[in-house]
């Protein structure tokens, strides 16, 4: 696999405090990659800068071989990088189908004139949008709610709707910001299964999440930040046993963890 997203030397400071200090990593096409770290490690700043919601002080962001460094968020989205946010954003009074149609509308080729005249291009865009919506709703397991108002959905189900909305324009990669924060355990499992199925269908994800178990269960590769720098990266198994990660998260060495486990037994 080749890198679909490459970030190099990302730097961002606030009043002299280095939120990002030379962060470099890649996300391979067709992978699920996790980005974790303790509070204040720079995770949210990193994805805000990558997706164009904050300006970098230095560094480069390359998407599918194209330099998107410094572009505004809407242009990066059009280049193929979509994202979700910690706070769920859906139109409660509109149907699930309409929520997804709106997500796709700004990317379809039809103009307002096409819509007014109901041209062939407009009809084709509508048909393609509906096909994509039905495909995604099936993959996220919400088929029975397709025509229902989004407001009746649970918080976890709305997270799934936000995921599907981000996937509507066929992006090259989707960045997920805390996809299971505030979600009950049974719904977390549903989100995990949906992401696995979407990945098997060819989608690429970069996931920022505090739930380390969720990340290490799901992700092919995990990147760990600490104090604005990349601490390490590797497979889930490697991250689980890396003494630097244990110390960053728990303030404990592997020997201390092992001793606690023996004591608990």
Rounded distance, CA 64 to CA 52, Å? 16
Ranges of H-type helices in 71-211: 73-79, 96-105, 112-117, 120-139, 155-167, 185-200
Predicted local distance difference test score (pLDDT) of residue 46? 96
Predicted local distance difference test score (pLDDT) of residue 182? 87
- Return the structure tokens found at 75: 């242009």
- List of the chain residues with pLDDT < 50: 257, 260-261, 264-265
What's the CATH code of the domain at 222? 3.40.50.300
Q: What is the pTM of this model?
A: 0.88
| Domain assignment of residue 190, given as a range | 3-90+170-264
**3-class state of residue 256 by DSSP:** helix
Does the residue 175 lie in any domain?
yes
203 in the same domain as 148: no
Q: Are 52 and 72 in contact (CB under 8 A)?
A: yes
257 in the same domain as 216: yes
Q: Are 165 and 99 in contact (CB under 8 A)?
A: yes
Predicted local distance difference test score (pLDDT) of residue 137? 95
Predicted local distance difference test score (pLDDT) of residue 265? 43
Q: Domain total for the chain?
A: 2
């Amino acid at each position: 696999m080749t890198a679909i997203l490459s970030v190099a030397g990302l730097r961002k400071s606030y009043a002299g405090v280095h939120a990002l200090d030379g962060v470099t990593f890649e996300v391979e096409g067709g992978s699920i990659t996790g980005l974790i770290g303790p509070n204040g490690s720079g995770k949210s700043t990193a994805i805000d800068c990558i997706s164009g919601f904050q300006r970098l002080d230095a560094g480069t962001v390359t998407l599918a071989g194209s330099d998107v460094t410094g572009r505004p968020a809407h242009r990066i989205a059009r280049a193929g990088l979509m994202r979700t946010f910690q706070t769920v954003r859906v139109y409660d009074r509109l149907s699930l189908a309409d929520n997804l149609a709106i997500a796709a509308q700004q990317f379809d080729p039809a103009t307002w004139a096409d819509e007014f005249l109901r041209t062939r291009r407009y009809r084709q865009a509508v048909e393609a949008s509906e096909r994509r919506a039905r495909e995604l709703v099936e993959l996220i397991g919400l088929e029975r709610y397709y025509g229902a108002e989004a407001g009746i959905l649970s918080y976890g189900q709305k997270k799934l709707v936000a995921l599907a909305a981000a996937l509507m324009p066929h992006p090259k990669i989707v960045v997920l910001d805390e996809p299971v924060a505030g979600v009950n355990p049974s719904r977390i499992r549903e989100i995990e299964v949906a992401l696995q199925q979407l990945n098997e269908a060819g989608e690429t994800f970069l996931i920022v999440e505090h739930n380390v178990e969720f990340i290490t269960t799901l992700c092919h590769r995990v990147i760990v930040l600490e104090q604005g720098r990349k601490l390490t990266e590797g497979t889930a198994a490697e991250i689980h046993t890396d003494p630097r990660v244990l110390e960053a998260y728990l303030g404990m060495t592997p020997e201390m963890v092992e001793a606690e486990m023996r004591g608990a037994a």
